[in-house]
Structure 1
Amino acid sequence: MPEAQALFFVVILVLLSFYNVRVSGAQSTDPAEVNALRAIRSSLVDPMNHLHTWNSGDPCLANWAGIFCDAMSNDSYQHIRELQLLKLNLSGSLAPELGHLSHLKIFDVMWNKINGSIPKEMGNITTLKLLLVSGNQLSGSIPEEIGYLPNLDRLQIDQNQISGPIPKSFANLSSIKHFHMNNNSLSGQISPELSRLPLLLHFLMDNNNLTGYLPPELSEMPKLKILQLDNNNFSGSIPDSYGNMRPLLKLSLRNCSVKGTIPDLSGIPQLGYLDLSWNQLEGSIPTNKLSTNVTTIDLSHNFLNGTIPSNFSGLPNLQLLSLANNLLYGSVPSNLWDNITFGGNRSLVLDFQSNSLTTVPDAFDPPTNVTVLLHGNPACAYADRINIANFCQPQLVNKASGNTTRLTFNCSPCPADVDYEYNPSSPIPCFCAVPLGVDLRLKSPGISDFRPYIYDFEINLTSLLKLFVYQLYIDRYIWENGPRLNMHLRLFPSNSSLFNVTEILRLRRVLSGWEITLSDVFGPYELLNFTLGSYANEIHDRSSGISKGGIVGILMGVFAGVTALSVIFTVFIMRRRSRKGLSSERHSLSKFSIKIDGVKCFTFEEMALATDNFNSSTQVGQGGYGNVYKGILADGTVVAVKRAHEESLQGSKEFCTEIELLSRLHHRNLVSLIGYCDEQDEQMLVYEFMPNGTLRDHLSAKSVVPLNFSTRLHIALGAAKGILYLHTEADPPIFHRDIKASNILLDSKFIAKVADFGLSKLAPEQNIEGIFSGYVSTVVKGTPGYLDPEYFLTHKLTDRSDVYSLGVVFLELLTGMKPIAHGKNIVREASLACHSGKMFSIIDSRMGPYPPECIEQFVLLALRCCQDETDARPSMSEVVRELEIIWKMMPEAYITTPTEESIATSSDKVSKSVSKSSALRNPNSSSNVSTSDDVYSGMHTVSVTPR
């Protein structure tokens, strides 16, 4: 104890000494950089007084607005790492003293009104990575000195009035990945020396005054993905070498005055967007096959002749083919849409206006999702005779913009004290929260129609931002000249009404620092605005430096830190002792091992042999507990072996107790535990193997053999029976807490078996009077989209929480949709469809014919399970009983044995036997789902405390 006290006071003295040095010192920021900031401030005009914090104190200690510092240096000062002044309505000019910020990495003054020129002194900042001055009123030429910045990654000077040539020194920018210099007045020839740039991804130079020839050497850039040079005034032709730009995703040379013929571009394997419109191109369209990634081909307003080639018919992702205003002749092709799967918002525009096309095939009948424009062709002279008059009206191709419709279901008003609003994507209907506003613009998207890609964008952006999909809501989007896609987003907090300040600052840093890169199909983005709204004052307080009472707070923090260090030190010592004890315990396993009927204890060697030494080829999934392998035991039994990660290991006594609990769970609709292994610092659980994977796999749009209605109902009944067993017959009873389609596994006969008890909780015990409390108070865990709203809000877990989750699974079975997709919640969508009398419009058409009366009862049961109020939901026993009633209602023609063979043939059987029945429905709705998790990906052991 004396030693611990001595250590405690030593730590106090060290921290107080450190505090004294840092606080009482004259200045924390490098004086040269302080003077530079003051010069920068004096050259700027700040009508909104955003930079008022720059008037006093020290930049780093007082947290000047937009200043981010770095103390990692060899001297005793902090240094300015970032200068972030995005969209603050600043004007004035950029001071030459910027060059004194010798440690600066990010300089961002985008979307202000700053004029003057870019100071050549910025070429002195060798640490600079991001130079961002887009959207100002800067003029003059680009300083040659910028071309010698060794770490420059991104140069964004677009939407200014900058003139003069592209400096030849830019060929030295060995780290540059992004040249965004569009919408200026740059002139002269593109230097062939730029082909030496080893890492350049995006070359955006559209809307300038560039002249001269297109350098063939640009094809030598090893990484170039986007070459966008629209609206310049080049001479000569498109170099044939551009057909060898293998990394290229987008080639856009619209209105560039180029002549000659179109080169063969079939050697660009990933090409997705081609725009050569409004030029002087001649000759025929190349017949070589283009990449199947192509979404957009615009060759309009040229002098192309010949016929429309057939190579355009094999492009499954095509959204726009524009050949308008050329000299094409012959027949209008009728097979260009044959390889495209239409559904949802997928569409195709074929613009052949103002050519010399003379013939339309007799059977010309494009799908409703295809727009064909033929105005200005000789074929339209016979439009009435050949029934194509609707294709011969003059039209413009307009890109679809959108506002997302919000469904509120008569929600009560949100609190009015701050900017609360409903999160339309929340798993909890009518959930009020305060969002952040984000304005983004896709600067060079590789698509013409955003609608089919909305869900992909949501998944992409939220995964990069480390958010759940339901936290993102796309409020609106609109296409702008470029074409560029401007969108307003709302980011909502998760499991809470408010973001904390740390999370807000993280999100702003990630977006403004370009720490993420969107998928190639969306191209580069730019941050237009990050709106704090009601959070502004809190962020300001966080950034206002040492306020009144700050010294007391710091001292309290010091003592809290000392206490924490002492605790950490104590825990460290205890853990060392504990690890020795645990190691000793794990090496004396026999002390705790017990014989459990029906559960075999395997050796490590047996498990290694069964899984080919845990070869990656045998891995079938993974979860938070560990990896799952397909294994074959010595007797030929196929099993799933779950191997715990090191951090998931337990003491042998606890592990054996857990095995005992699992061994008591015996039901036809629960995944069975076969055995376990606990030796050599390894813990494994051995389950029966489920050859048909998860239910989610079979509801996926990529499922080769879709499930018919009979099989889906059979699966629902099996899953419900398994959960009913957990609630009422397991000893002790268990609440599952993570029921979802990927946790319902299917055996060789498609019998449903519930898996993954990793989040399970024991049901409440009786109190002293023999009465159950009815719920377990617990931290909210589970999967978004399946969470019981009342459990989410109150943290009270009941058996009806599992009923809610199973109701969501029922809706998945009925619709094929995922719980949350495209910003829509499956429960609300189903409720809206029922209330509006359009129940059958949401039914998954892939399951084939079905008896409508059974579907109707199944939908109503699912929605009862998903009621917001716990007491309004049926019990699990009622759910099982109602499913059995629906099963008995099924006409015999629909009932099939749920095997893989019957799934493939039952739809034909039903169609033939009831084809004349007026009751038969076959809706044309399309499922909107994506690939599920791997088999066993979520299976965990029961994390409960046994009685």
Structure 2
Amino acid sequence: MECGSCLHGVGLGCLVCLLILALGTLFTSADTLPNEASALVGVASNWQNIPNTWAGEDPCSSHWDGVKCSNSHIISITLSNLGISGILSEEIEGLPELVHLELSYNADLNGPIPHSIGNLVKLQNLILVGCGFSGSIPAELGRLSSLLVLSLNSNHLHGPIPGALGNLSSVHWLDITDNMISGPIPVSDGTNLGLDMLTNCQHFFSHFGKNNLSGPIPPSLFHSEMKLLHVILDNNHLSGSIPTTIGLMRTLEDVRLDGNELSGNVPPNLNNLTRLVDLRLSNNQLTGPLPNLTGIDGLTYLDMSNNSFDESEVPSWFSTSQSLTTIILEYLSISGQIPTSLFVSQLQTVRLRNNRFNGTLDLSGQISSRLSLVDLQHNNIQKINTGNYLQELILVDNPYCEEGESGSKYCTIPQQSSDTMYSTSTPNCRNSLCPLDQDMDSHCSCSCPYRGTIYFLLQYFSDINNSSHYFSLGTSLYHGCLEYQVPVSSVSALNPYMNNDHYLQIDLKFFPDRKVYFDESEVFLISSLFNNRNFTVPPEFGPYYFGGQQYIFQGTVPGSKSKKGPPVIGATVGVIVLLSAIICLLILHKKRKAKEAASRFQFSGLWNLSTSSSSIPQLTGPRIFSLEEIRKCTKNFSEENCIGSGAYGKVYRGVLADGQVVAVKRAQQGSSQGNQEFKTEIEMLSRVHHKNLVSLVGLCIDHNEKIVVYEYVPNGTLRESLSGKSGIRMDWKRRLRVAHGAASGLAYLHELANPPIIHRDIKSNNILLDHRLNAKVSDFGLSRTLFDDAKHHITTQVKGTVGYLDPEYYMTQQLTEKSDVYSFGVLLLELVTARKPIEEGQYVVRQVKDAIDKQKNLLNLDELLDPTIATVSALRGLENFIDLAMKCVEDESRDRPSMSEVVKEIENIMQVADVNSTAESGSTSPPFAGKSGGGLAGTGEDFEYSSDPFSPRTESK
């Protein structure tokens, strides 16, 4: 190509041509030391999407965004939320004066953490939160004797914790939450280093949750010289007993060991921890007596549910705990009458489900004015005295409700409240609309907020629908921004939600003050304030971590940030002229791209998002993604990321810019199928929230695409597990838990969603299993809403999957919630037989009906029973389970139970089988192999049962 011809176009080849000319002459005059400038150029040469200001002659004198200098040395690099992609190269060691390195929330910054970082001996803060780093934690980090903060949470790190980290004598914050770190917790043994040597660290276990740590908790880990405030090792695979040495840690304020495989007795010296505020030991296999907590006067939050403690009477410390706001003791064996004195303290929530409490519940005394929930489902309460208590009281499945009081308001489960937004000031903006990429702040001004989600590992309250908590949080963050001179108009906290890991997550929006967009440096600063714990949160909130979303800066289109390469150090005047020419061409190029982008979100046949039509769904929670963002998070829809396929399209695993792992369902281009299903699924999932329903993250309708983005559910479909394809062993107790979870999700749709929702495609391929084998109902493309004017049914064309279809619905075309009940009955039979509903011409419902012989105790079912779960006689509760399934598949809908009745009966069966309703930790064995390991589904082998969201359905008029 002749370079002179470049002036006639703006093609990539022209730009390259001009860049080659621009690099022709260089000079070396610079304020940054040449070797450090060269090292930073080497690091940046492996990156795309570097800041716009990285085009000057010199990092220090040109004031590159995110770079701070002192005496010609580069001492700090802070580059958050830029969408930087590439690797962090070993050349980083060429910055020997570096004190602060922060590259958080760049999800495509991947590869291993370079070992050479261990040579940066002056480094005090290493913060790599929410990136895509993989490999193991380098042992060389143990050389960083000046290190104060090491935050590696929310990456893809695996392998063991290097014992060399015990050498970090100055560190006070060590965070590896939400990785795949495995192996034992290292302790010193005279030869090797270990974490017991971190005597100055106050938080070094506060962020070790959500990993794969295994083995016992070493007793030598704890000793009286340590200054720990938090010991938080939740959601791992730790086993053995809780070491008695934990009682030596008199400084401890919080202990979270929930979600492990711990066994044995709780150490009796636990009550030596007189400063303890939060204690969570739930979902383990602890035995022996219920711990005596007398003397822990400041205890605020207590959860010891789902363990195997000995049967006991109401403990004496119930009457002396004056600081408790939350007490959760579910699925235990506590009996006796609940003392009135329990309710006199600061209690907000009392959850004592599935115990043996009896007698009279007396709430007539001087109870806490903040008490908002008393949940005593599945106990033996005979009488109640509510006094002046007017808040939620749930007595479902108690003698009180079964002996003449079934009509009482306390004998039904109340509907959950919807998500709410809380701001530093109350918005009252009527008839105002903002552009698609902007939101309205509390002053009724439109601007582009910086978004993220804050996760609280601890919180010292349980009334999460109390707006005062979030108003104070927003106000605190607002004043924190002003203190550090970040120009914000307001901060909004919205959608408070207790996630499956029992972390309180809250979405945040920071609105710029008196302008539409933040500058890059301002976004860097907000991220850095979180990562360096400069934000002070209200005292009712505990330690946290933050996940920021990539920010769309002024003049850019979502997902279209320029792919800038490394900077050039030192340029001649001629180079500057050439670069100016390039900039002009880029401006013309960008204008053309912007013009194309202006019409990107006009998707015919669905919604015109630029209008205010009443047909547009109220998408208050889901994000609108650009196609570029989707391509980036799925590695351009690569086959290695494909985790499922069907007639409708494919499902891909993806990682968003904030580090969130998602499942991306993409319809086939040009397919006439699925427009209405796509629209329906978005509308349904944007307004329902339940732990047993798959969550919607967002959608993409860019360039005529139909893409839905869901939470990633790692253990695939129930069908895959029953078939043995997933490698997960589904024993009887796990199958009961799955049945209970799926039934709970359906009961929510039928009875608590407003208006009620009929799913219409319940099957094993649409039941997903999360990391703890909790069931999540998915695929709402065929769902229908039962509006008030519909009375009891909807007349509609028949849709569903062969084998699960309600015959009454098929014959009459009248759809009711009992059609879901029929499909669920088939699912129950599938759970015990592991057979497809129709296999080799045999229908499982008919097979079971023919095999049942009550006089022989269901022994005729042995031939149909899945051999991996033993024989009929060995399964406690099987007879009741089969009875329930057969009631669900009655020919006439009026003879079938409601889903809430199904949930209750499954809970009764679980009690007979001695099963807790929460999945055991460490329940996946062995891990998935190959591609079909999660997301919305795996892959299927035949027409009717291809995996999940896309399996073909029958349609008849």
- Provide the TM-score with structure 2 as the length reference: 0.48
Say which structure is richer in helix. Answer: 1
Q: Which protein has the larger Cα radius of gyration, Structure 1 or Structure 2?
A: 1
- Provide the TM-score with structure 1 as the length reference: 0.48
